[in-house]
Amino acid sequence: MNKDRYLVVVSGPSGSGKDTVVSRLRQLHPEIEISVSATSRAMRPGEAEGVNYYYMTRDQFEAKLAAGEILEHTCYCGNYYGTPKSEVDRRIGQGVTVVLVIEVEGAGNIRRLYPEATTIFVAPPSLEELEHRLRGRGTESEEAIQGRLARAREELALADQYTATVVNREVDDCARQLYEIIRARQEG
């Protein structure tokens, strides 16, 4: 099997619940691994270094970029986010399924680098529900929420570029659908 098929990209607007769905996927199937990204954004309460992200300053991030240590990256709402090379190539070479939870620009870059990768778009049931979830999270300022909603509208327009789209109405069901899509591609 082409090793690219061990690479799975999960995208979707901020607030679509994609991180929760992927955590659930991992609980159900612990053999699946999740790539930890680097970011220059501040740590949120409840997050931990090396678990949610590798946190660094903009200068540190730019040094990693210059050293060629970042596979893909983007600037999202004013902060850098990127996938360290060390999170991906060795693992997919060993036949381990690795999931990248990244936004749409990163997904496009991964598609160019790994044309056979499985890409899944997690959509919210509606934009109203997305706004409700973003506000309910209580972690962002009004300005940041508006920025994330504007970005969400752009991201939703790109859903048809993915291998599959799953609407996140309920976490367990969505996680099961993700697993079926990943398995079907690896068996097919």
Of 74, 161, 163, 186, the one binding ligand 5GP by CB under 6 A: 74
* Residue 81 binds ligand 5GP (CB under 6 A): yes
Residues in binding contact with ligand 5GP, number by CB under 6 A: 15
* C-beta of residue 144 within 8 angstroms of C-beta of residue 42: no
- How far apart CA 52 and CA 147 sit, in angstroms, is 22
SS3 179: helix
Q: Return the number of the residue (115 or 188) whose C-beta is nearest ligand 5GP.
A: 115
Binding mask 96-135 for ligand 5GP (x = CB under 6 A): -----xxx-xx-----------------------------
Beta-strand relationship, 79-84 and 37-39: antiparallel
Residue in the structure block whose two tokens are 């240590």: 69
Instruction: Show contacts with ligand 5GP in window 24-43 (CB under 6 A).
Output: 37, 41
- Alpha-carbon span 169 to 82, nearest angstrom: 28
> Where on the chain is the footprint of ligand 5GP (CB under 6 A)?
14, 37, 41, 72-74, 76, 81-83, 101-103, 105-106
